[in-house]
Structure 1
Amino acid sequence: MIIQSLALKNFRQYRNTTIEFKEGLIGIIGKNGSGKSTIFNAIVCALYGVLPTSREYIRSTFAEDNATVAIELVFEIDNNRYHVVREYRGKSLQAHASLYKNNSAIATSATDVTKSLEDIIGMPQDAFMHSVFAAQGELRQISDTRGADRRELIRKIMGFSMLDDILQMIRDDRNDKRRFIEGQQVMLLSEEDIKVKESELEKHYQELSHKEKTVDEFQKNHELLSQKFLKAQKKFEEQQEIYKKHNDLIKKKTEIQAHLDNCTHNIAEAKERLKQLENAKVEHEKLYSQEQKYNVCKKQKEQLEHARMMNMKKQELQKQYDELIHELYEKEQSIEAEKEELKKLDNLETMIKQYENRKNEIEKTVQSLQGKLYEIREDLGGIEKSVKDRKKHIEQIKKLGKEAECPVCLRPLHEAYDATIARLTAEIEGYEKKEKAQLKSDAEKTELMMKNTENELKEIDTQRNALQQQKAQLLEKKKNVEKALGEIRKKKENLNAINLQLQELGNIAFDEHEYDRVVEEYTNLEAIHTRFIGLDVLIREIPVVQQKIKQLEKQKDELTSEIKKNSESITNVAFSETLYSEIKIEYESILQEKEKITKKLNEEKLLYNDIKNAINKIVSELEKDKHNRQRIEATKHEFELLQRLEKVMDGFRESVLQMAKPVIANYASSLFNQLTQGRYQEIKMDDNFNFLIMDDGKWYPLSRFSGGEIDCANLCLRIAISNAIRDFSGSGAVGFMAFDEIFGSQDNERRNAIINALYSLQEQYRQIFIISHIDDVKELFPSILHVQTSAAGSKAVWM
């Protein structure tokens, strides 16, 4: 695994930074708090989704409250390029993640990304953090763990916890078998139950044999009666057919007679109607002369109504014409007055333009003053931060005292104690009395200038708004004048159209008295006209009624002939009511007897099936009990095999852990011997995984040695565990190591030895990252990544 690049956005000290990593031994150098360890924290977070602190503190202090925090890590394993993206969005910093392999997405949720990366890297987070990766202050974590906890920790780091999972699976399977056996044994039949059920089974078999004979007897009787029933049924069906034909003919005769009666009645009604129509014809002829007079009067009325309508139309048009003439005169007088007021519009627009130009000049002045004030406040903030930092440094130094060691580099403080406090105090006084006072004075002057300028801007806005309001009112009047002119044009067009219509109508001759006389005469003749029209309709009905009478007479003759034929058919059927009743009684008697014996037969068959079902139930229960006993025996055999497998697996788990001890010890001994230049020959682990170091041929616990030697041993143990993981897994996936502040407890000679040992590991680990705040170690690294702070956030630069 080779890390190629890391991109950070709004993550702790970093605003927006991308780091392209090199291969080889790399020193990450920078002041305390600059963000060196944050680089390692970001790598762990990208790979395993583990945040270095509480979620609410990971967003940069200079970022907005809802700004997205993003980490992007690109690394290579087995010539495959992987790209991890983890984002924390919104105020609640909701986690999102995605993983790409060779630019193709393979996981799109935070949980799936973490699971996929554990499979790709070949080790979980615990193994990663306790072998190739050591955060600041965690180098001794393995040696500081005690007793059974250290044993469990190494088992987990080595990836042997899967053996625990397998052993638990075996135990769970064994327990399932035991519970199955216990549950099935409760359900088994006792010996006494089996004997009772076998006795019941024999009794049921005897009852079944007796019942089978009874059913056979009823079956034979049923068959004999069924044959007798079929003969009676045939005779009855033949009589039913004759009975049906006889009834159908009677029904048909009744229907024909009803049609004949109806036809006779209809002929009488039609003849009466014809007599009424002939009387109407006589009356129609008498009213003919009055109808002629009505038609002449109607024509006169229509002509007079047309003339009357034209005369009313002309009067209405003349009225409209006079009203339009008056409206046009008043509208034109009003428009002339409005035009005089609109002449003020051009002067208003010139004044508004002058105010807008002045406003633009003042706004530019305000922007300039705001920029100047922002720069002053930014400088004040920088000075206050410098004063705060120096006060904090003074407080820390006084708290430690002259005889204390630096908590980072472990050097004595007494050499520079007084000089440092004096220098920091002088710097604070210089900031407070000179730079800060001058900046506050400049800020007050700038704020006063801004206030005066903003007041002038408000006054200009007030005056300009008043002119804008006057302009809007005049524009509205202008729009109304244009609208009024359009209305005048339309009214003139209407006036011309009305005048043209009046000319077309000309003089109209209309006599109102003549019109009233004609209307009165028309009204008197209208009732006679209505009667004449009604009689005319009746006369047209005469030939229709005559034709109907002819058809009804013909229909009457046909129905009389059909009744005669129907009576002959009834006689030919030869139906006997007495014979039909005798055969029906015989049929119903046999049917009743047959239904009775059928019911009894079904009852006996039901009893027979009940006995048979009882037998089957007992047989099934006995078979099920037998089958359950066989299953219990088979499961007992499986249970015994699982018990033996549990013992074998438990022993194998312990053997594998014991196999790891010499591998880790050999790697650690070789590296520790190299780092101590042969002073300490070997490191080993006892049965409880306590670490022992050989000194002059004797074994001593790790606690006997100095802090630097303990840190050195822990470094060797971590590298040894990493090599052992690689050997046991058969994978070389993790090709880098990263250690944070491992030189603090080492002297120069030991530092050089550690660097030389790390050089020798470059064949196995193509990237080795070492974080340190000690400037003296810069020359020891072939590549230096310098982390430094700025107002825009921390940044990392290759030196």
Structure 2
Amino acid sequence: MKPLKIKISAFGPYKTCIDIDFEMLGESGIFLITGDTGAGKTTIFDSISFALFGEVSGSNRPVPSVRSDFADNDTETFVELEFTHKNKKYKIRRNPAYERTKKRGEGTTKTSADASLEYDDKVISGTKNVDIKIEEILGINSKQFKQISMLAQGEFLKILFAESKDRTEIFRRIFDTDIYNQIAKRLADKTRIAKAELEQLKDYFAINSSNIVWKDGIQSVQPKDVNELFIQEILEKLQQEIKINSEQFEKCQEQISKQSDENSKIEKEIMAQKDKNDKIDRCQKLQEEQKVLQEKQEDIKQKEILIQKSQEIINKILPKEDKKKELEKEISQKQKVLQDISEKIELGKKKEEKFKQILELIEIIKVQFQKYSELKDGKTELEDKIKKLQVIIKEQENKKIASENAQKLEVEWEKLSTEVLEKEKEFFKEQAGILAEKLKENEPCPVCGSLHHPNLAIKSTSVLTKEELDNLKEKEEKSRKTLTDATNKVTEINSKIETLIKEFGEKPDVELYNKKYLEISEELEKAYNQLNDNYKQIMLKDIVIESFEYDIFKEKITNKISKEREEFLKLQTQQEENKKQIDELLQKQEKAQNDYQNTLKELGFENEEQYKKSVLNNLQIEIFSKEIEKYKTDVTINATKLEEIQKEIKGFEKVDLTAKIQEFNNKKQKLEDMRKQQMEYHRIFENNNRILVDLQTNSKKLDSKIKEFTMVEDLSKIANGTVYGKRRIEFEQFVQASYFDMVIIEANKRLLKMTDNRFLLVRKESSERVSDKIGLELEVIDNYNGKRRDVKSLSGGEAFKAALSLALGLSDVIQSYSGGIVVDTMFIDEGFGSLDTESREQAINTLNQLTDNHKLIGIISHVTELKERIDKKIIVTKSTEGSKITVES
């Protein structure tokens, strides 16, 4: 990549748009970027880096801060770069995101970051799209570009003098070797995990082995005892123990089977005799039941006679009694209906009277409602007047506040105006001191041209700088504008008050209108309460006072009175008909009562009471009938069962089974004890067999885990440089050492030329102690005496040559590992001030050799001798209005 032209606008120290034509510097060779400290020399490289990748070179220069502090509000911040790459032209334009003061109004406005790339009649827009395309075209990213194209003295001196530990960090950043460091860490982590898993398996083996049930009891096992020999021995012993467990179980099973057969035989004998005894007992019980049934036979016959006699009497009297009760029930129902009708008639009379009272109240409410409406309208009119009055009062208060604020702002402005005049006078008096500040020995004075400045004017510490004075003027101008705005606001409010009073139409008297409003509010409340009381009397709880409609409500009440009157007449008719029906039923009831009494006398009863006592009622007849039926059933069943059981027990004798049952229970307990013993044998067998299978399975896991741990531990020791008795070099350092060797080879090509073949850089490969980390220490061979020595022993100029050679070598290696990318332009920042004339010439000659392949090298320096030695220059001039650039070719 070779820059052709660049435009830098409002970027860093550059206030306006600066154009640099690199084509004026030629196709190749060295050019100088010179100027005062802080003028913006390195910013030229920053602008190239920003245009390409959206990033600047320094880690302490964030992108959002690149907008120039000198820039005018209208000046846009951007960088536009034209460059060639592989004989193809490109133009890229990029601006950062930044804030600037609004052109109108107060506050700031934001400009979003953007970028565009033009080549081959194509245009790519958008920051992300341009970033992707630039990396695709150049084949390197921002970080690699800075490492290859920008050699800063501070950075490459760090590489030269760094300790092995620090150089590891530098190379990790440059060559992205952290992946090898992470591999070493991962191996260390895997070693810890594998060790923990191995210990866990050993713990598991120890716990399982301790749970084995031996014939001599349980034996405790510790994890430290677990090894391959231990596992082999315990597996063999456990298999023997399980065989013994199995034999014990089989023997116990035979004993249980024999005892179980014996118990079954005894149990059958007991059950057979018990069945005979039960049948003999059952026969005796049936004989006793038969005797009881025979004793009850006479009582049952008497109950049968009583039931028959009672049913004959009831059949004659019951129809007469039912007729009498039916008439009594009907009369009772008719009398209840008559009572309900009478109550409804009385209630209707009361409702009619209430509706008449409501009609009278409606007339009163009509008058009250008219008065209430008039008062309400009057109150609304007063409220409108009071609202207008309140607006006038509020504006008068605003006027007072605005006037006080304007007076305060006027005092502040007068104070600032006086201060500006005084500070401006002091500033112009101190210009000689400001000019003297910039003068340097052996540089001509812009006023008299003298190279020596023995008596410099002294700048007063109390005088403001040009920037501070401008800030003070800006503050005074803002104060004046604020005062004008405040005065205009007072005038505006005053005009508004006059308009409002004119619209009000009379003198604004707050006290008078408040008094009127209070009086009419009291009258309105009184009228409302009267209406509300009358509404409650006519039961209009849900009617809103303002929506009361007199005519509709009156018509509604009148209709209700008419309906109640119609209902009243209808009820009177029903009442007369009901009384007539009751009289007819009473006559029928009297006749039925006479028939009932005559039938009682015919059957020989003097009255109803005698009849009830002599005859069974229906419930008693039902109870006696069920009792008789049950008795007959019981007699039949008893006779049948007794006949059957007597046939079965013929030849049976009752035997006492107590001794036989006791013998059976003893043998049953013996069998239970045998089964418990068998279960214990089975539990031990299952436990030991489970442990055997588990140990056999996990012995393979243990063997595998031991091999895994051994392998991972060995790899971790190698990668982390902790192999016992070996030199300590970690995996990442080993990779970095390979890169370092290539860098040193390339660096020595330049260093030998710049030092007349005296110095040669070499990597230190040994240490006095085995425990020391080695790999990235750097030494120098002095060919004048053939001795090695530390690079820190080099003088300032020698160190610069070595550091520059190292940086150039590093750039070459990075380019070779970036797909063979060739960067046609390189910048070297400072460092030449420490060289003598001969060394400086050697360094420049070395750099000139680099430019043979159409490479352009820019040296950023303010060393005076370089200005005389190098013809092509970019001169950066610093001023109070921002920096400017001129190009000399």
The TM-score bracket by the shorter chain reads 0.5 to 0.7
Q: Distance in 1 between matches of 2:93 and 2:19?
A: 14
Q: Over the residues paired in the alignment, what is the CA RMSD in angstroms?
A: 8.6
Is 1:220 paired with 2:258? Answer: yes
TM-score computed with the length of structure 1 as normaliser? 0.53
Note the residue ranges of structure 1 that are not aligned, 5 or more in a row. Answer: 64-69, 90-96, 107-112, 251-256, 407-413, 509-514, 543-548
Write the letter of the residue equivalent to 1:142. I
Q: Deviations over 1:574-613 (max 9, x none)?
A: 6869989989989988985675354123122134335646
Checking the alignment, whether the CA contact within 8 Å between 1:6 and 1:71 is kept in structure 2 is no
TM-fit CA distance, 1:337: 10
**Residue 450 and residue 732 in structure 1: after superposition, are their counterparts in 2 closer, same or farther (change >3 A)?**
closer
The more displaced of 366-375 and 620-629 is 366-375
- Residue in 2 that maps onto 1:606: 679
Note the residue ranges of structure 2 that are not aligned, 5 or more in a row. Answer: 71-76, 100-112, 114-123, 203-222, 290-299, 529-543, 563-567, 593-615, 765-777
Write the letter of the residue equivalent to 1:33. G
- Residue in 1 that maps onto 2:747: 668
**Residue 685 and residue 88 in structure 1: after superposition, are their counterparts in 2 closer, same or farther (change >3 A)?**
farther
Write the letter of the residue equivalent to 1:221. Q
**Residue 780 and residue 376 in structure 1: after superposition, are their counterparts in 2 closer, same or farther (change >3 A)?**
farther
Q: Deviations over 1:220-271 (max 9, x none)?
A: 221453477589889999999xx9xx99xx9xxxxxx9xx99xx9xx99999
Match of 1:142 among 159, 163, 175: 159
**Residue 797 and residue 375 in structure 1: after superposition, are their counterparts in 2 closer, same or farther (change >3 A)?**
farther
Aligned pairs for 1:770-785 within 5 A? 771-772=860-861
- Residue in 2 that maps onto 1:32: 37
- Residue in 2 that maps onto 1:680: 756
Is 1:418 paired with 2:453? Answer: yes
Q: Distance in 2 between matches of 1:565 and 1:76?
A: 132
Write the letter of the residue equivalent to 1:759. T
TM-fit CA distance, 1:718: 0.7
Checking the alignment, whether the CA contact within 8 Å between 2:242 and 2:689 is kept in structure 1 is no
**Residue 504 and residue 345 in structure 1: after superposition, are their counterparts in 2 closer, same or farther (change >3 A)?**
same
Q: Distance in 1 between matches of 2:481 and 2:333?
A: 115
**Residue 701 and residue 562 in structure 1: after superposition, are their counterparts in 2 closer, same or farther (change >3 A)?**
same
Secondary structure class of the residue paired with 2:828: strand
Task: State the identity as a percent.
Answer: 14
Write the letter of the residue equivalent to 2:360. Q
Secondary structure class of the residue paired with 2:760: strand
Checking the alignment, whether the CA contact within 8 Å between 2:797 and 2:834 is kept in structure 1 is yes
Q: Distance in 2 between matches of 1:434 and 1:202?
A: 104
**Residue 294 and residue 597 in structure 1: after superposition, are their counterparts in 2 closer, same or farther (change >3 A)?**
closer
Q: Deviations over 1:623-649 (max 9, x none)?
A: 799879967996898599868996699
- Residue in 2 that maps onto 1:756: 848
Is 1:723 paired with 2:828? Answer: no
- Residue in 2 that maps onto 1:320: 365
Write the letter of the residue equivalent to 2:848. N
Aligned pairs for 1:214-613 within 5 A? 214-226=252-264, 278=324, 281=327, 308-309=353-354, 311-324=356-369, 416-418=451-453, 421-422=456-457, 454=486, 458=490, 461=493, 464=496, 497=551, 563=630, 567=634, 568=636, 572=640, 592=665, 595-609=668-682, 612=685
Checking the alignment, whether the CA contact within 8 Å between 2:148 and 2:823 is kept in structure 1 is no
Aligned pairs for 1:90-169 within 5 A? 133-135=150-152, 137-145=154-162
Checking the alignment, whether the CA contact within 8 Å between 2:718 and 2:731 is kept in structure 1 is no
Write the letter of the residue equivalent to 1:606. M
TM-fit CA distance, 1:124: 12
Secondary structure class of the residue paired with 1:418: coil
Q: Distance in 2 between matches of 1:191 and 1:606?
A: 33
Q: Distance in 1 between matches of 2:387 and 2:732?
A: 104
**Residue 315 and residue 385 in structure 1: after superposition, are their counterparts in 2 closer, same or farther (change >3 A)?**
same
Q: Distance in 1 between matches of 2:249 and 2:467?
A: 123
Secondary structure class of the residue paired with 1:690: strand
Q: Distance in 2 between matches of 1:471 and 1:203?
A: 118
Write the letter of the residue equivalent to 2:324. E
Checking the alignment, whether the CA contact within 8 Å between 1:752 and 1:780 is kept in structure 2 is no
Checking the alignment, whether the CA contact within 8 Å between 2:15 and 2:68 is kept in structure 1 is no
Secondary structure class of the residue paired with 1:691: strand
Checking the alignment, whether the CA contact within 8 Å between 2:147 and 2:174 is kept in structure 1 is yes
Q: Distance in 2 between matches of 1:148 and 1:30?
A: 37
Write the letter of the residue equivalent to 2:38. G
Checking the alignment, whether the CA contact within 8 Å between 1:29 and 1:784 is kept in structure 2 is yes
TM-fit CA distance, 1:293: 12
Q: Deviations over 1:83-133 (max 9, x none)?
A: 9999999xxxxxxx9xxxx99999xxxxxx9xxx9xx999998x9987754
TM-fit CA distance, 1:308: 3.4
Checking the alignment, whether the CA contact within 8 Å between 2:759 and 2:782 is kept in structure 1 is yes
TM-score computed with the length of structure 2 as normaliser? 0.49
Write the letter of the residue equivalent to 2:256. F
Q: Deviations over 1:50-92 (max 9, x none)?
A: 984599x9799979xxxxxx9999999999xx99999999xxx
Q: Distance in 1 between matches of 2:466 and 2:354?
A: 107
Q: Deviations over 1:742-790 (max 9, x none)?
A: 5545669668646634534667xxx966544579869979996979788
- Residue in 2 that maps onto 1:187: 225
Q: Distance in 2 between matches of 1:502 and 1:195?
A: 112
TM-fit CA distance, 1:213: 2.7
**Residue 708 and residue 470 in structure 1: after superposition, are their counterparts in 2 closer, same or farther (change >3 A)?**
farther
Q: Distance in 2 between matches of 1:152 and 1:494?
A: 93
Q: Deviations over 1:119-176 (max 9, x none)?
A: x999998x99877543354443333346887699679866677767767877888899
Q: Deviations over 1:554-584 (max 9, x none)?
A: 9889968974785446765668699899899
Q: Distance in 2 between matches of 1:273 and 1:85?
A: 121
TM-fit CA distance, 1:720: 0.9
Q: Distance in 1 between matches of 2:14 and 2:808?
A: 30
**Residue 454 and residue 390 in structure 1: after superposition, are their counterparts in 2 closer, same or farther (change >3 A)?**
same
Write the letter of the residue equivalent to 1:739. I
The more displaced of 191-200 and 313-322 is 191-200
TM-fit CA distance, 1:685: 1.9
Checking the alignment, whether the CA contact within 8 Å between 1:229 and 1:594 is kept in structure 2 is no
Write the letter of the residue equivalent to 2:158. Q
Checking the alignment, whether the CA contact within 8 Å between 2:779 and 2:789 is kept in structure 1 is no
- Residue in 2 that maps onto 1:711: 800
Q: Distance in 1 between matches of 2:497 and 2:675?
A: 108
Q: Deviations over 1:301-325 (max 9, x none)?
A: 6786566345423422332344456
Q: Deviations over 1:691-749 (max 9, x none)?
A: 34768999999789875564344222211123234557866498875432355456696
Aligned pairs for 1:641-652 within 5 A? none
- Residue in 2 that maps onto 1:511: none
The more displaced of 209-218 and 301-310 is 301-310
**Residue 467 and residue 131 in structure 1: after superposition, are their counterparts in 2 closer, same or farther (change >3 A)?**
same
- Residue in 2 that maps onto 1:411: none
Q: Distance in 1 between matches of 2:857 and 2:54?
A: 18
